[in-house]
Structures are given as structure tokens and as C-alpha cells.
Amino acid sequence: MEYLIVSFTHKNTDIQTREKLAFSNDLEKEMFLKTIVEHPSINEAILISTCNRVEFILSVNQCKDSGQHIIAMLAKRSNINLKELLGRADIYENEGAIHHLFTVASSLDSLVVGETQIAGQLKDSFKFSIEKAFSGQKLARVMHYSFKCAARVRTATSLGTGSVSVASTAVAKAKELYNGIDNVKAIVIGAGEMSELAIKHLLKSGFEVIICSRNLQKAKTLANSFEENIEVESYDKLEELLNSKRLLFTATSAPYPIIKCNMVKKCGFQRNWFDIAVPRDIEDINSNDLNIYSVDDLQGIVDENVVLRADAAKIAYGIVGKITIEFFSWIKTLSVEPTIKHLYLSADEIIERKINNALKKGFIKLEDEKNIHKLCKTIVSEFLHKPSSQLREVSKSMEGDIVLGTTQNLFGLKEDSDMLNKYKCEHALDSTI
């Protein structure tokens, strides 16, 4: 069994390509994952698709074939040239895959270092995969450790302090653009999580907010969740709003642009629109009085964020490295404990058999059976104590698998699946994550 991650992110893929790769709804994810796990080399799979990344986290029998298969499927689905995708993809195997996953979970690989959304997005993706039976014990263990790593990074560094996200970064850019201008109203399209984050930061920065959504009731509920007064407009007013307000934020889950060229009219003031959706919500529009910022256009503020958080990130990378080593040490102990258990069980079987034979032949008295049994158990425990300790220690080394296999063959031991199931990830058993 091997670990594999196939990764397309803001680091290796532009937004035009990412939006072609993106999965806009659960049905698309389910159908693609179902096809993936039917491949003979792929055992388990998790898909995470956000504005900054499309990544597959996998348990496989063979990394090379599995990675090529997924990229070929993506090329077919997105109508992107296979050679181009192969050139863009970052492929992480085994230790590299685990280190990368822990880096992602700890928000060190995000566009905005330290952003708070990625851990929740990972949990949602994992929960979806578990519920649809695309993921099981192998990836459950990995995800458990990734959340453990993220928690340790938040505790040990300042990366989790403050509220940082793509939405907050976009609002920071808007605040810079409208510095010194009062009573600027911002249109927020949609009533989902990203819209809620944008509203939160807009209000904090002194902007007034208008929510425009297809789901009017959901928009009203969102507006009422804030103490400040927020206007709510129906979706059929969108075109009017576009041409009468200076500022707009949109981050819907629509699989196609909802703001098209023919909806935009000339006006007598400069407009700034922030499209933080992938796929993008706004078509490419050329207008002298309109600036459109996508996720990738926020790089200036992102670079400042990286500099400010450099010291904390350095500490965080150290934690990621340590927990990666810790994870593989733990995984190795999952194999050694059943082996040690069966060593003791085999010894117990011999003790029982020999004592029964001795009783039948009259070599020992019935009243002495209990004491002799205790004596034999004590001898075996003392005899196996040192080999058991050494097995646990050597299991952490590069030679661990060889030594363990040799021990199992020498003593004719079997794998205990029930023992292995003891170590299932807690998140795999908790449907409330």
C-alpha cells in the first residue's frame, strides 16, 4: 500500500485551468470518485476542490499507474490537453504525500498562509468520501493525523490568530482602493459561507452591504444574523445593482459565469469587482470604468501576508516535519502489535497443551495445575519481553518491514485484522464532522 497525492493549485495552475478542473457540486465529485476507485490500483480516494486547489488524496497499490490514470481522466473531463496537465501536476508519493497533506491542513500551502478555511474544507471532503464509501481505514488514519498536525500548528504558532482568508484578503484590497471614501456600498452575491465571510470583513472595514441572491429567504436569514443593518435585494435586481454601485463581491458555486458582458453598462464612476469564485462568476469584460479582481490577482497582499507570517511559518514547517515522521512510526507499530500479540498467544497455546498432556499422563497433580500455569506464563512473559521491545523499536527503522516479516515467518504468525481495526481514525467513526 502506498500514499499518493495528485495536486493542481494556485502554485502550478492558473485560474483559467483551475476553473476547468473544478468540481462545482457533490454529484460531480461522487461520479468522478466512483470511477477512480474502480481502477485496480486505487483503493481509497478523497477529492478536495476549492478556489485555490483541486487535489486527490489516495491510497494505492502502485503510484505511477494511479497518478497517470487520474490525470488522464481529468484531461478527458476538462477537455484540457493531457500533456499540459501532466506538465502542471504536482505528484507526491508516500512520505512526500503525507508531508504535503499535513502542510495543506496546517494552511502553509494556502494562497493566504494561515487562512482558517482549509481544515474545515478537508474535513468536509473526508466526511463526503467516508459517507460514499470511497475512503476507509487507510486514509482515515492519514486524515486523523493531518487534523492533529493542524491543531498542533495552531497551538504552537500565531498562524491561527486573526481572521485570514481569500475573502478577508479581497476586502483588504477594497479597503485600500476606497480609503478615505465614506458610505461605499458593497454588493455581495450569494448567501453561502464565502459570502458570509466577505460580509463579516466588509462590515468590520466600514462598508455598507447589500446581499443579492437567488435564494431570497436564505439571504434574509444571513442578513439577520448580523447586528448591522444589511439590505437584501432579489436576484432580478442584479443588473441594476451592477450598474449603480461601486463595489461587488461574488463567490457563488455556479458552474458558469453569472455576470455576462451584456449586463454591464457604462457609468460615470469607477467600479471594482472581486470575483473569488472558481469557476469564476464574471466573464472577461473590457470596460474603462471597471476593474475585475480574481483570486490570483490578490498576490500583492498575499506576499505581504507571507512576509509577516514568515517566522511562524518556519516553526510550523518544523512541526509538520516532526509529525510526518511520527505518523510513519505510528503506522509501523500497527503491524508490530498484532505480531507481538500472536507471539504471546502462540506461547499460551503451547502452555495449555503441554499442561493438559502432563495432567493426562500424571506428570503433574491436578491441585498443582494453577501454580504451574502461572509459573509458565511468568517464564514466557520474561522471555518475550526483550524481543517484544526490540520489535517495537526496530519497527520504526527502515529495516522494520523486513524484520517483522522474518519474525512472522519464523513463528508462523498470522495478521490480526481485528487488532488493526482498533486503530481506525476517530473521524471515520464520527459522522458529525
The identity of residue 9, as a single letter, is: T
Asked if residues 47 and 27 have their Cβ atoms less than 8 Å apart, the reply is: no
What is the Cα–Cα distance from 30 to 373, expressed in whole angstroms?
Answer: 57
Active site residue: 51, 63, 212, 425, which one?
51
Q: Average model confidence (pLDDT) for the chain?
A: 86
What does the pLDDT average to over 346-372? 90
Per the DSSP assignment, residues forming a β-bridge with 5 are: 57, 92
- Structural domains in the chain, CATH included, are 2-159 (3.30.460.30), 166-302 (3.40.50.720), 326-425 (no CATH)
Scanning the structure block, which residue is given the C-alpha cell 474544507?
121
What is the Cα–Cα distance from 139 to 58, expressed in whole angstroms?
Answer: 7
- Of 139-148, 157-166, 290-299, 328-337, the poorest mean pLDDT is in 157-166
Q: Annotated catalytic, 267? A: no
What are the Cα distances from residue 125, in Å, to 29, 30, 98, 159, 251?
Answer: 10, 11, 17, 23, 19
What does the pLDDT average to over 85-98? 94
- Band (399; pLDDT cuts 50, 70, 90): low
Pairing of the two strands 2-9 and 90-93: antiparallel
Asked if residues 318 and 106 have their Cβ atoms less than 8 Å apart, the reply is: no
What is the Cα–Cα distance from 83 to 214, expressed in whole angstroms?
Answer: 39
Which one is predicted more confidently, 111 or 281? Answer: 281
pLDDT of residue 304: 66
pLDDT of residue 116: 75
pLDDT of residue 73: 95
Cβ neighbors of 405 (< 8 A, separation 6 or more) are none
Of 161, 159, 162, 158, nearest to 172 by C-alpha is 162
pTM of the entire predicted model = 0.71
pLDDT of residue 160: 62
pLDDT of residue 264: 92
pLDDT of residue 424: 43
Cβ neighbors of 321 (< 8 A, separation 6 or more) are 99
Which one is predicted more confidently, 71 or 423? Answer: 71
pLDDT of residue 425: 46
What are the Cα distances from residue 138, in Å, to 8, 90, 270?
Answer: 23, 22, 53
Burial of 362 (0-12, 13-18, 19+ CB in 10 A): exposed
The 10s digit of each residue's pLDDT in 28-81 is: 999 999 999 999 999 999 999 988 899 999 999 989 999 999 999 999 999 999
What is the Cα–Cα distance from 377 to 348, expressed in whole angstroms?
Answer: 7
pLDDT of residue 80: 94
- Band (433; pLDDT cuts 50, 70, 90): very low
Report phi then psi at 47, rounded to 5: -120, 125
What are the Cα distances from residue 321, in Å, to 113, 117, 313, 338?
Answer: 17, 22, 12, 28
What does the pLDDT average to over 82-108? 94
